[in-house]
């Protein structure tokens, strides 16, 4: 805190010079009082000169302290804030397959492959189902898929809560799931008070965004399985009306809604596709659940608990910017 110390010295200069001035007027140069103030003045001038030199030599460092590299942390929720081996993803996939079978009337032997392929292509199976022509109610889908999940598999995570609460920057959630699911997950983990806001499916998709694709008009379902078997057949892959990761429009809408500067934001996710898009749009990316850095990944964490070890600067910037209140005690008693 050399800059703060320098400011303190400057602001208290009057406390040094006034007693010396009066001492100079009324005391002979050989008096103990005059010599006392003269020595104090010399120490003061030497300190100011030294601090000025340090400030000039370390101007860049002072700039870094006042302007930390990151001012926002953006977190995916599922399989990022809790580990993949919790079993939640497996239950989610099973519920989606049951929905496709029971509510959409698909052939049982095609469901597992289609469910997985649509997820890989469109970011979520639901987005893929809408893209290829299935019409269904989103609330009913979320209720069937997430409403039956065994949230008891998730346990409170006081370690992660402590880490998040100690971080001095903005923290937001960014998920393709519905808000209800996100809130239930955060409550089970004990993290419901750790985020400024949650950007979810409901946030990104308004009533105007959830109509069927314009190019389908109630026609037959696009044969996605045939498309995957013959990718060079000339079949055009339909777009989805759903706004979700990993597509650009989901990130761009999130930036606008939450006033996020991607250049000053760390994005944590377990999906490489999401991270690749994020990197291309300017975010600093962190893959969670792996130690391998691949394309589009700036950093890799085996566990979300490793944030402090991987990014100590997130805390150091705040510590260096703390205002330290202290007083410099200087004896001013004049001995007559």
Task: Compute CA distances 261 → 73, 74, 105, 136, whole Å.
Answer: 11, 11, 44, 35
Q: Which tokens is 109 given?
A: 């032997």
The tens-digit pLDDT sequence of the chain (336 residues) is: 444 544 554 555 555 555 554 555 555 556 665 556 556 555 655 554 554 554 445 544 444 445 789 999 999 999 999 999 999 999 999 999 999 999 999 999 999 999 999 999 999 999 999 999 999 999 999 999 999 999 999 999 999 999 999 999 999 999 999 999 999 999 999 999 999 999 999 999 986 555 554 444 456 899 998 898 888 888 899 999 999 999 999 999 999 999 999 999 999 999 999 999 999 999 999 999 999 999 899 999 999 999 999 999 999 856 555 544 333 343 433 343
Strands of the 284-288 sheet, one edge to the other = 197-199, 170-174, 72-75, 265-269, 284-288, 299-301
- H-type helices in 146-197, by residue range? 158-166, 179-189
Q: Give the C-alpha separation, 228 to 98, whole Å.
A: 22
> What does DSSP say about strands 299-301 and 284-288: parallel, antiparallel, or unpaired?
parallel
Length of the chain: 336
* Residue 286 main-chain phi, psi, to 5 deg: -135, 115
Does the model's pTM come out above 0.85? no
Residue-range domain boundaries for the chain: 2-68, 72-310
- Could you tell me which residues come within 8 angstroms of residue 314 by beta carbon, excluding any fewer than 6 positions away? 68, 70, 73, 167, 168, 169, 307, 308
Taken in order 64, 65, 66, 71, the sign of the CA dihedral is positive
Helix (H/G/I), strand (E/B), else coil: 130: helix
Calculate ∠ Cα 124-129-134, nearest 5°: 155
How far is Cα 20 from Cα 138, in angstroms, rounded to an integer?
79
Tokens of 122: 């469109």
pLDDT of residue 49: 52
pLDDT given for residue 327 in this prediction: 37
Report whether 197 contacts 220 (CB < 8 A): no
Q: Which helix (H) or strand (E) holds 42?
A: helix 32-57
Write out the two tokens for 140: 């009913």
Please give the pLDDT value at position 6.
46
Yes or no: say if 80 and 176 are a contact pair by the CB < 8 Å rule: no
Residue with tokens 């999130």: 254
| CATH architecture, range 72-310 | 3-Layer(aba) Sandwich (3.40)
Euclidean distance between CA atoms 267 and 17, whole angstroms:
54
H or E stretch covering 282? none
């Amino acid at each position: 805190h050399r800059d703060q110390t320098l400011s303190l010295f400057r602001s208290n200069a009057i406390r040094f010079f006034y007693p010396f001035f009066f001492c100079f007027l009324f005391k002979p140069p050989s008096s103990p009082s005059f010599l006392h103030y003269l020595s104090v003045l010399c120490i003061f001038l030497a300190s100011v000169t030294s601090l000025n030199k340090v400030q000039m030599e370390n101007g860049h460092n002072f700039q870094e302290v006042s302007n930390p590299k990151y001012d926002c942390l953006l977190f995916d929720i599922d399989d990022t804030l809790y580990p993949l081996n919790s079993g939640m993803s497996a239950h989610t996939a099973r519920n989606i397959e049951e929905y496709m079978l029971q509510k959409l009337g698909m052939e049982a032997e095609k469901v597992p492959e289609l469910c997985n392929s649509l997820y890989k292509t469109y970011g979520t199976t639901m987005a893929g189902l809408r893209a290829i022509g299935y019409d269904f109610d989103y609330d009913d889908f979320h209720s069937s898929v997430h409403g039956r999940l065994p949230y008891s598999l998730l346990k409170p995570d006081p370690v992660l809560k402590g880490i998040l609460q100690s971080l001095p920057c903005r923290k937001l959630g960014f998920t393709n799931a519905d808000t209800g699911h996100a809130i239930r997950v955060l409550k089970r983990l004990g993290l419901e008070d750790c985020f400024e806001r949650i950007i979810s499916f409901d946030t990104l998709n308004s009533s105007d965004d959830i109509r069927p694709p314009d190019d389908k008009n109630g026609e037959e379902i696009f044969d996605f399985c045939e498309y995957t078997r013959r990718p060079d057949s000339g079949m055009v892959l339909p777009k989805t009306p759903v706004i979700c990761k990993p597509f650009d429009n989901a990130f761009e809408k999130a930036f606008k809604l939450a006033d996020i500067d991607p250049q000053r934001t760390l994005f944590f996710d377990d999906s490489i596709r999401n991270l690749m898009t994020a990197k291309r749009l300017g975010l600093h990316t962190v893959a969670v659940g792996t130690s391998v850095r691949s394309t589009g990944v700036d950093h890799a964490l085996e566990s979300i608990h490793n944030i402090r070890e991987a990014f100590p600067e997130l805390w150091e910037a705040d510590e260096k910017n703390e205002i330290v209140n202290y007083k410099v005690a200087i004896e001013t008693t004049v001995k007559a």
